[in-house]
Structure 1
Amino acid sequence: MTINKVNVIKWAKRISYGLGILLALFICFYASIHFGLWGKIPDKEQLARLKQSQATQVLDAHTDLIGKIYVYDRQSIKYDDFPQHLINALVATEDVRFYEHSGIDSKSLLRVFFKSILMSDDSSGGGSTITLQLAKNLFGRKNYGPFGIVVNKIRESIVARRIEDLYSKEEILTLYLNTVPFPDNTYGIESASEKFFNVRTKDLTLVQSATLVGSLKANTSYNPRRYPEKSGARKNVVIHQMEKYGFLSEMEANKATTDSIVIDYQNYSPNEGLAPYFRAEIKKQLDSLLKQKKYRKPDGEMYNIYHDGLKIHTTLDNTMQRYAEAAMAEHMSDLQRQFEKAYGQNAPWLKGKSAFEAAKKRLKSYKKFKAQGLDDKAIEDSLKRTHQIDLFSWDETTVASMSTLDSLEYYSKFLNAGLVSLDPSNGAIKAYVGGIDYSFFQFDHIVQSKRQVGSTFKPFVYTAALENGMDPCTYIPIKAITYTDVNNWRPTNAGSLDDEDLNYSLQKALSNSINTIAVKVLYETGLGNVITQAKKMGITSNIEAVPSIALGSSNLSVLELAKAYTSYVNGSKPSNPMFITKIEDKDGNIVASFKDLYPERSESDMAFSNDTRQVMLEFLKATVNEGTATRLRSTYQLPNALAGKTGTTQDNKDGWFVGIMPKLVTVTWVGNDNQQIGFSSTGLGQGANSALPIFAKYLQKLNADSNYNSITKASFESPSEAVLSSLNCDPTKTDGFFKRLFGGNKDERQFKKKEEKKKKGGGIFGWLKKKDKDR
């Protein structure tokens, strides 16, 4: 045997031994992974009861998706909901031999192993099948140092084989498409379809399917919202793959590659998208509701709104909501400019002004520094440190470097707003705007905020008066008087009405929001009777027993005010505001229904008589037709059957409007969150100018949409003959010559005598704490 042959044999043996050792090491390495030395691998039993985290869906009254509650933005659907071109695009691009293998492409896996180990090439890739990707999606990857990619790949191969043993190919595709991550932190094809194209998966077009499948390669780089050109190029790669493997003809492929991608982006994140304040309130209600035993799972376990895939059916109408949000933005952006311009360089929110200084001391950071013992100078210096922040603007959001004090000054100038619309027949909330932008102003002005309501409280006073026997044609002098029982309080009216020798009917007085008469009506009716009447109408907030409540000094929420006003068009019964109609689990089983959640009203819940209701509606119609809300007719040209009430509080800090229609009650509010800051003038800040236009623009949009004719074209019922007869009187009456000459302060003396009698009988009015002017 020659030396060369001996050397060859030696080297062959060495290589054989080396390969044998490598194979043995690989087997040991594989076994160490298989038996859990690198971490427990899910067994078949665990995989058989695979449970995926699913987002809770918040649906509107038409079952359209308006938002989600989730940790992972995922909602599962069935295989039958996948269009065939979506399946074809996925298989052609990600795993063309999907139907042939048993979860692992062995050739590709070996290539990954040897290139990773022998060549240290972490980017070898190319070995993943759809099943392997599913294993990765379900259980993630861990950091195992330099062996990380190999350990993870082997773990995934073991899980993939087990998945293939347990599930059919259709079931694997279903699991994959329901879990795979898409751009913008979106999990699952249904969530991605709705987010990027505003369609259900079953309605995806070929181009849309190819776009989403294409994004799987790199869901940041191929995000169709952020990088449309890259996404379009990747979409064409998917189309060509489909043509290459026979899923598309050449003609179909050519058409699909020339079709552009049209995004209809829907943001369902908590801070953005449609109705964020409403969704936040729904979440709060669910947090409380699902703790109750009767709404738990059959095994007694609580539902988890982040993982259990509940479906929350709500009363909201997504189109009405869009109209409401658009109306608010249109008006508030313009009103904000007027607000700032009217103050000019003397704005109350500027540094050094009392309102600013008071707001500064309410800051959490100020209180924290104060608690640490810092003096005022040190606190000021700390609050002057700058940092990058997002700035809200009606034009566009920008980023700026600002200190805490700069930010306080900037945000203190913004007016905020609230709107809620209810179906008075059942309390169903149809639109809900809790503020101007949830991303920046998360305080909800519908249920969290309580503000003085101004003249919107006056109808409760007049309702109580009618219920206690006052005739609708009662004439009351407009002249201002002084109430000595409340520290010589002298409520007055806007304009020059205080000294006129006129007597107004109740209808004229309410429709024109006459302060002096509202207080006289309260005194005549009795403070206790007025408070009782308001409570009957659904007001739950505390009403202080002072005469100034006639002018709206009570602090109420927008929602409870709306609830009270529904009684005027709901058979004298206040509706219970309804948010949720039913809750279903992910399989469609009913967890709760509105019958459980909202008790029905009975005849015993009537807050006042039917005659009183009809009279009050006529009063409130007059407010729109000839009183403080006439701009609904003159400026906005609204022909609808309408009643309503404006309201403005002292120093023009709050503007209100209540719009009443036969099938819709809407309340709007406008003001500054810093209650030391009001409008610079009544002309700008009065409810008719600050809050009413939001309702008017909202109603204009509803009028233009024939789908809402049943609401916008509804008519009020005709009052009875008896009610019409009781209203048959002139709106005003002038005192005769001799009464004007010799009457003096008779009116004032009469009220004083009445109050003295009431005091002797034990009536208590208390002292007036604030002198509120309202119109």
Structure 2
Amino acid sequence: MIIKLSQQDIRRYNRMIWKIVIGGFVIFLLIISAVGLGLFGKIRSFDELANPKSNLASEVLSDDGKTPLGSYYLENRSPVTYKQLGDNVIHALVATEDKRFYDHSGIDFQRMFTILIKNLVKRQGGSTITQQLAKNWITKKDDHTPRVIQKLKEWITAVKLERNYTKEEIITMYFNTVDFGAYNTYGIKSAARTYFSTTPDKLTPDQAALLVGMVNGPGIFSPIRHPDNALRRRNIVLQLMADANYLGEDQANSFKEKPMGLKFHRIDHNEGLAPYFRDAIKSDIQKILVDKQIFKSDGTPYDLDRDGLKIYTTVNADMQQYAEEAQATAIKALQAEFNSSIKGANLYKRFPNLKKLLQTGMFRSDRYKWLELQGKSADEIRENFNTPDTLELFSWKGKIDTVMKPIDSIIYTKMLLRNAMMSMDPTTGYIKAWVGGINFEHFKYDQVRKGKRQVGSTAKPFTYAVAIEQGGFSPCNEFDNVPDTIYTPGSAPWAPRSSGTIAGRLTLRRALANSQNWITAALMKIVTPLPVKELIEKAGVPNIPEVPSICLGAFDASVFDMTGAYTIFANGGLWNQPNYLLRIEDKNGNVLYTHHGAVKQVLNPQSAYVMNYMLKGVIDEGTGWRLRGKYKVTAPIGGKTGTTNDNSDGWFIGFTPQLVTGVWTGFEDRDIHFRDLKQGEGANSALPVFAYYMQKVYANDKLGIKKNVDFVKPPNVDIVTDCGLYNQDQQAPAAAEKKLGF
């Protein structure tokens, strides 16, 4: 049936339609206005757009100011500039997500009305790059906000972005904020590093296509979890790049044939160079910012995990790599020696305190603390530790996934050697390498600065230095190598033991070179403990007791402090405070803090040079001979080995005019140790790490560490290798006693 409408009805319906259209448009405008006024939730102001709040990783950079050692982050996100992006990633993004990016003003109405069905796999979606930026970064989705209102917020924010930023800035912000899925990877810089071990500007078209292909589906297009999906998506992006004339058709087809070629390296706080160093200095940086009252413009403190600071350090990336490799080579071999020595042994007889150590280790473990939180009784916890479980253990061959009793895993861990090493430039105090332990993922404790162990014979040079500077001794004065007892008012008599004793009369140089305890104690008897204590403390090692046994290293110190102390021998008597920090910048490159280390004259240059001569004797003819004989390191080097009671700690501190390096090796507990001196002495347990490290350092000419650079002889030093020019009787010690007031 056909209904005929009168002209009056037609006019009435037309008016109704126009009222609906106009009313809808007015309502739309009112909603837009309400959204813009923030009635449906805040929209960020221009100031907030100019200073967006985003979780930016703070980067720790090496001494070249470019090479990243690692980051502090909640989200692994590091910003890049437009120039650092490279054409390939820009072309891939524009071709895939927004062909008309350079033609619209934030909202592409032409595209909106032509694309009715969003197909993420084959076609572009309806949102422009600017809208996606607004959604991903500026207007995070609120679960309580209707999607329509959320979309309007995105539009308004997109228009604001286009009005206040250039296209280059918008595309840069997009790449700095996009989520690349698993492994906490945010931003193109982190993605390029994680998936291809490169930088955004060096990504090839196929690599750029793979990463851009992930942005709208980082889970489903993950090249790690779903490689087939990722490959198909990459090839679609390559075709879109060809369709947009960013690639030739033949080029695109050629890239489609390539495998993904991933160089995947998961980035987390356990990975990268110098993890112990990065962890150790984090609290220092935070303390500096607070103590120096360095705050953000709004008065709030900086957050290293969120605010994108740049920490410029003194650590050299190559030297750090060499140090870590040297440790791995030497300690892996030494661990094999130790394992062989305890194979088949009853460990409880070999190490009488092992039962107590296991109990302490159990109480300190995360497993014990977790079981306590679960309300487990002591008997239940003990049963848990004696019940086999699946465990992951460290080994020098890689992680071990095994089933064993947790209590047995503590025994396994107690039998692992630990090692720490620090290397620094004595002329500046700049730390060049810092290795705080054998594996940061499994053993977080930093042994470089936190760990303090008895230093053994590495303390001896300070007694000799006092004797030379204050007592008028020379390297060629001779002493009878015989035992003696030192009587100190208020203290028990002290008579040191000796091993590896060389009988007869020895020059001081030979006595130090061969680490003779009795002659060192004889010097201490003459110079007394106080000036030795004062010298060691002036060289940066705190809390030295005023007792005669300090001449043999009967005090605890860290690798950090002892390495710093030896700078006085390498640097003409000047002590340079060990320093790892150059400056701190904010995310915009503004310098927040510049560090300056302390410097002081501790020895006079003449005495320091005499000590150089004495300590080179350790390498040329003493306990450090392996450096020349076994490891063929022939450069001018001074140094000192050190071994503590029961072979619990092995030390070696070596120095050249350009580098001072300290190494310690031992076990977590002093009660676990080598059976004999041959394995446990510092010359065997610590010196090899130094040797492998120096081999690599000298092989890299770019580092500027020269093999042929010797210590500079200051004026007024008559030292020669012919000890016949010196008085060999006791006149020098007698003069020393008179000079020191005895």
Q: Normalization by structure 1: what TM-score?
A: 0.82
Report if the CA contact (8 A) 1:359-1:674 is conserved: no
For 1:326-725, list aligned pairs within 5 A.
Answer: 326-344=325-343, 345-347=345-347, 353-363=355-365, 377-384=379-386, 389-400=391-402, 404-469=406-471, 470-482=473-485, 487=492, 489-495=494-500, 497=501, 500=503, 502-540=504-542, 542-594=543-595, 597-599=596-598, 601=599, 605-718=600-713, 722-725=717-720
Q: Which amino acid letter does the alignment assign opposite residue 180 of structure 1?
A: V
In the TM superposition, what are the counterparts of 1:130-145 in structure 2 within 5 Å?
Answer: 130-139=129-138, 141-142=140-141, 144=143
Task: State the shift of 1:423 in Å.
Answer: 0.4
Local SS of the residue matching 2:76: coil
Q: In 2 relative to 1, CA 38–322 (structure 1 residues): closer, same or farther, beyond 3 Å?
A: same
2:147 is the counterpart of 1:182? no
- CA gap 1:679/1:98 in 2 versus in 1, 3 angstroms: same
Look up the match of 2:316.
317
Amino acid aligned to 1:491: P
Shift, 1:175, TM fit: 1.6
CA shift for structure 1 position 261: 4.3
Distance in 2 between the 1:206 and 1:113 partners?
30
For residues 194 and 117 of structure 2, the distance between their equivalents in structure 1, rounded to whole angstroms, comes to: 41
Q: Do the aligned residues in 1 keep the contact of 2:307 with 2:587 (CA within 8 Å)? A: yes
| 1:80 corresponds to 2:78 | no
Query: What's the offset of the Cα at 1:687?
Result: 0.6
The alpha carbon displacement at 1:225 in A equals 5.6
1:252-291 correspondence runs (5 A): 252-265=251-264, 269-291=268-290
> Offset at 1:620?
0.7
The equivalent position to 2:158 in structure 1, one of 160, 164, 174, is 160
The answer (yes or no) to whether the contact 1:624–1:630 under 8 Å persists in 2 is: yes
- C-alpha displacement of 1:656: 0.6
The answer for the alignment partner of 1:218 in structure 2 is 217
Q: CA deviation at 1:87?
A: 1.5
Structure 2 counterpart SS, 1:715: coil
User: 1:92 matched to which residue of 2?
Assistant: 95
- CA 1:399–1:31 in 2, change beyond 3 Å: closer, same or farther? farther
Provide the rounded CA distance (Å) in 2 between the counterparts of 1:448 and 1:187: 33
Quick one: distance in 2 between partners of 1:253 and 1:143? Answer: 40
- C-alpha distance in 2 between matches for 1:157 and 1:51: 20
Deviates more, 1:282-291 or 1:619-628: 282-291
Q: Kindly provide the amino acid, as one letter, of the partner of residue 492 in structure 1.
A: R
Aligned to 1:201: 200
Aligned-partner SS, 2:663:
strand
Q: 1:181 deviation in Å?
A: 1.4
Question: Is the Cα–Cα contact under 8 Å of residues 456 and 647 in structure 1 kept in the other structure?
Answer: yes
Specify the alignment match of 1:67 in structure 2. Answer: 70
Q: Report if the CA contact (8 A) 2:559-2:663 is conserved.
A: yes
Equivalent residue of 1:54, what SS?
coil
1:242 paired to 2:241: yes
**1:369, CA displacement in angstroms?**
8.3
Which deviates more from structure 2 when the two are superposed, residues 320-329 or residues 76-85? 76-85
CA shift for structure 1 position 74: 2.4
Residues 316 and 45 (structure 1), Cα distance of their counterparts in 2 relative to 1, 3 Å cut:
closer
Contact 2:572 2:609 in 1 (8 A): no
Q: Within 2, Cα distance between the matches of 1:58 and 1:152?
A: 37
Partner amino acid, structure 2, of 1:346: N
Cα root mean square deviation, aligned: 4.1
How far the C-alpha of 1:299 sits from its partner, in A, is 6.6
- CA 1:221–1:406 in structure 2 vs 1: closer, same or farther (change >3 Å)? farther
Change in Cα spacing, 1:215 to 1:368, as seen in structure 2 (3 Å) is: closer
Distance 1:57 1:418 in 2: 24
Contact 1:112 1:124 in 2 (8 A): no
- Residues 385 and 68 (structure 1), Cα distance of their counterparts in 2 relative to 1, 3 Å cut: same
- TM-score, structure 2 normalization: 0.86
Deviations 1:447-505, CA, capped at 9 Å, x for gaps: 1111100110010111111123134322222223455766565422224x37x4x1111
SS in 1 for 2:215: helix
CA distance in 1, matches of 2:77, 2:637: 44
> Conserved in 2, the CA contact under 8 Å of 1:369 and 1:379?
yes
Cα distance, 1:395–1:108 mapped onto 2, change above 3 Å: farther
User: Is the contact between residue 418 and residue 668 of structure 2 (CA under 8 Å) also seen in structure 1?
Assistant: yes
Change (3 A) 1:99 1:585: same
- Contact residue 393 and residue 399 of structure 2 kept, 8 A: yes
SS at match of 2:214: helix
Shift of 1:714: 2.1
Contact 2:528 2:548 in 1 (8 A): no
Letter paired with 1:567:
I
Q: Secondary structure at 1:431's aligned position in 2?
A: strand
Cα distance 1:734–1:338, how it changes in 2: closer, same or farther (>3 A)? farther
| Contact 2:576-2:597 within 8 A present in 1 as well | no
Q: Determine if the alignment matches structure 1 residue 191 to structure 2 residue 194.
A: no
Taking the aligned partners of 1:582 and 1:143, their CA distance within structure 2 comes to 39
Q: Is the 8 A contact 1:508 1:732 kept in 2?
A: no
* TM-aligned CA deviation for residue 160 of structure 1: 2.7
Cα distance in 1 for residues equivalent to 2:373 and 2:196 = 51
Q: Per the alignment, do residues 520 and 223 of structure 1 end up closer, same or farther by CA in structure 2, a change over 3 Å counting?
A: farther
TM-fit CA distance, 1:233: 3.9
- Residue identity in the other structure for 1:576: Q
Contact kept, 8 Å, 1:75 with 1:191, in 2: the verdict is yes
Change (3 A) 1:709 1:171: closer
- 2:338 and 2:664 map into 1 onto residues whose CA distance is 15
Secondary structure of the structure 2 residue equivalent to 1:58: strand
What CA distance in whole angstroms lies between the structure 1 residues aligned with 2:193 and 2:434? 22
CA distance in 2 between counterparts of 1:358 and 1:144 reads 49
Mapped partners of 1:373, 1:489: distance in 2: 52
Residue 544 of structure 2 aligns to which amino acid in structure 1? Answer: I
| Structure 1 portions without partners, runs of 5+ | 736-749, 764-775
Q: 1:483 to 1:95 in 2, by over 3 A?
A: same
Taking every aligned residue pair, what percent have the same amino acid on both sides?
Answer: 36
How far apart are residue 104 of structure 1 and its match? 3.7
Give distance in 2, aligned partners of 1:224 and 1:419: 38
Q: Give deviations 1:325-353, integer Å, cap 9, x for gaps.
A: 11111112222222222112333589963
- Structure 1 pair 414–149 and aligned structure 2 pair: CA distance change class (3 A): farther
Letter of the structure 1 residue corresponding to residue 73 of structure 2: Y
